[in-house]
Amino acid sequence: MPTRNVINVSDVERFVDDFADQTDQPELKRWLSRNVRRWILKHYDQADRIVRDPATGRVAIVDTDGGLQPYDGAVPEWCAAAIERGDEVVRLRLGATLQKRVGRAVAALAAELKDERLRNLDRITFVIAEERARRRRRAIHSNLRRSRVQKGTVPVFKAATGETVVVLTERESLADEGSRMAHCVATYDRWVESGESKIFSLRDPNGLPRATIEADHRGTVWQIKGFANGPVEPRYRPALQNFIRGYRYVVEDDQDNLETDRTQLRGDPSEVEHILVDRGGLAFLHDNRFGGYRAVRDSRLDLSLRVIAANADQLPDTLVAAVFSALKPDTDEYIRARRIAQFSIYGIGVSLLYVEMPLPLLYLVRQRAFKGRRCARDAKAIYRAAEAALIRLALAAPNRLYALGPVRHGEPWESDLMECPADVLRRSRFDINPLRTARHVALRQAMNSAQRQQIAHRNQPSKAHIAVRELLDGWRGLYVL
């Protein structure tokens, strides 16, 4: 294999000496003269290749377009001999990019030496030093952002069940709420600053946001949103009601998101029948019978299903059968997967597939809305078929990821999909946790092995590598199987 020859070694020596003169720590001086110098000469990739111009016979530099530019300067004899042998001869670009990289690494190591968190630099390569510098910068920015978020998060109410309500007063706290709840509350900063709106956030006992409330200065609540602008989870609605009642707010919109249990949703069966038959409720259910979690997060569909479940025992058999027919899939396929993204990681193809299921029907089965009806057996059979289809997904190849829906923080085996489909898996007869873990481990091992094979050409993980790792860790709020 041809060796690499550097024509401007003296410039590298001066470059390293300049950094060494700026520090008074002997360990850091020695690390610069040894490790950094060695890395620049062997691995720094910002370089111009030097060849002999076949037309003129003079030494030339290969530019970025592949053309040849005359080389100004003396060429040492050993470099000329290396060019004749066909070995690689380069001129390193010791510019602002390299100065910034070395400067950040030196600053990070100097801070660790000062804090006595690091005592020996002999085994610290420049790549490791850069990673330490990146972690240090991320920690600094995270701490700064966290302090700003904390400053703009003021508690105003605490429920007996442990939930708290905070008012968001700063732009950073609004951005944090929008990022964690997957909605656009961050764009309300100008109205918050002018005093036209107040933004409240309901936090669970662990401090995680569960609902976002917008009120004006007159005491009117205009929006109550859960994750991704969906309905608020029922278990957090009593605390939200107590807060609104205690502050004497008037709810103008999104009142449905405060309905807490079946008793509040029970009504006149004839009115429910009128809504389903005469107002197009059955057609609406039929149009949304098959979809992913985005369809289920629709507040109108969510409320419709909860009303049906609350009043199912009072509805006539014909209407319950009509609801079942509207929600039943047209075919015997009770689960579909369509590819929404594909990643290529060092030659490994990874596909992310979006799963669609008859989630509204599965929810009504879980709520026993068809119990004692003629369609109960068929509904239960569809539920079992969907459960079996999910188990087959868990046994699929490890390079296929299936996105089912949003995940709660700290509760990876429960989802907000009105108890489907994650609870289908969680309450099934099969324990698929080991299968899911084994698939993720197999994919991670393949990714890391391929990365190690190409480490000489690519020191940092690719964007696809990072994206897949984030998907595996559930960072994007998807229930990934």
For the residues of 57-103, what is the DSSP string, one character each? -SEEEE-TTS-EEE--S---HHHHHHHHHT-EEEEE--SHHHHHHHH
Going by pLDDT thresholds of 50, 70 and 90, the confidence category of residue 376 is very high
DSSP label at residue 480: B
**Where does the chain hold its CATH 3.40.630 domain(s)?**
152-258
Collapsed DSSP state (helix, strand, coil) of residue 222: strand
How far is residue 246's CA from residue 218's CA, in Å, rounded to a whole number? 15
- pLDDT above 70 covers a percentage of the chain that reads 88
Q: Which of 25, 44, 193 is nearest to 120 (CA)?
A: 25
For the ranges 215-219, 453-457, 464-468, the one whose mean pLDDT is highest: 215-219
CATH topology of domain 152-258: Aminopeptidase (3.40.630)
- Rg of the chain over Cα atoms, rounded to whole angstroms, equals 31
Contact 45, 113 (CB under 8 A): no
Contact 260, 234 (CB under 8 A): yes
For the ranges 298-302, 303-307, 430-434, the one whose mean pLDDT is highest: 303-307
pLDDT of residue 413: 46
How far is residue 454's CA from residue 461's CA, in Å, rounded to a whole number? 10
250-304: per-residue pLDDT in tens? 888 777 777 766 666 777 888 888 888 888 889 988 888 876 655 555 667 777 8
The maximal CA–CA distance of the chain, rounded, in angstroms, is 99
pLDDT of residue 297: 56
Residue type, 15: F
Question: Strand 164-168 relative to strand 68-70: parallel, antiparallel, unpaired?
Answer: unpaired
User: Cβ neighbours of residue 352 under 8 Å, at least 6 residues apart?
Assistant: 339, 340, 341, 342, 343, 401, 402, 403, 471, 480
For the ranges 191-205, 297-311, 334-348, the one whose mean pLDDT is highest: 191-205
Unique residue bearing structure tokens 């952002």: 145
Query: What phi, psi does 201 have (nearest 5°)?
Result: -130, 125
Looking at per-residue pLDDT, the higher value among 331 and 383 belongs to 383
Residue type, 38: R
40-77: per-residue pLDDT in tens? 888 888 888 888 887 777 888 887 666 787 877 777 88
* DSSP codes, 281-326: HHHHHHHTSSB-HHHHT-HHHHHHHHHHHHHGGGS-HHHHHHHHHH
124-146: per-residue pLDDT in tens? 889 999 998 898 888 888 888 78
166-200: per-residue pLDDT in tens? 999 988 899 889 888 888 898 898 899 888 899 99
pLDDT of residue 211: 92
**Structure pTM?**
0.54
Q: Which of 157, 180, 153 is nearest to 239 (CA)?
A: 157
For residue 361, pLDDT over 50 is answered with yes
Residue type, 421: P
The mean of the pLDDT values for the chain is 82
Query: Which contacts of 124-127 are long-range, i.e. CB under 8 A and separated by 24 or more positions?
Result: 124/31, 124/35, 125/35, 125/39, 126/35, 126/36, 126/39, 126/43, 126/102, 127/39, 127/459
Helices 9-21, 96-114: crossing angle, 10 deg rounding? 40
